[in-house]
Amino acid sequence: MTNQPETVAADRTRLLTGVAVALLVVGVALFMVGRPYLAIIGSVANLAGVLILLDVWVRRRLLQR
């Protein structure tokens, strides 16, 4: 792994995408359990995952300009 700006940005994007997908999977699993407090935690995890994916998408769009 090098410290080139492109490599660092790609690694960060890959890491954030993985975290977001994990949050979405955990959020859906918690939401499907059926307990009200777990559904709330699952909804927050889903929201966090969507916001991270939106952040990655916006950063990628801005870097393409």
Q: Write out pLDDT tens, residues 6-59.
A: 788 788 889 999 999 999 999 999 989 989 999 999 999 999 999 999 999 998
The answer to whether the predicted template modeling score (pTM) of the entire model surpasses 0.75 is: yes
Which H, E and C letters describe the chain, residue by residue?
CCCCHHHHHHHHHHHHHHHHHHHHHHHHHHHHHCCHHHHHHHHHHHHHHHHHHHHHHHHHHHHHC
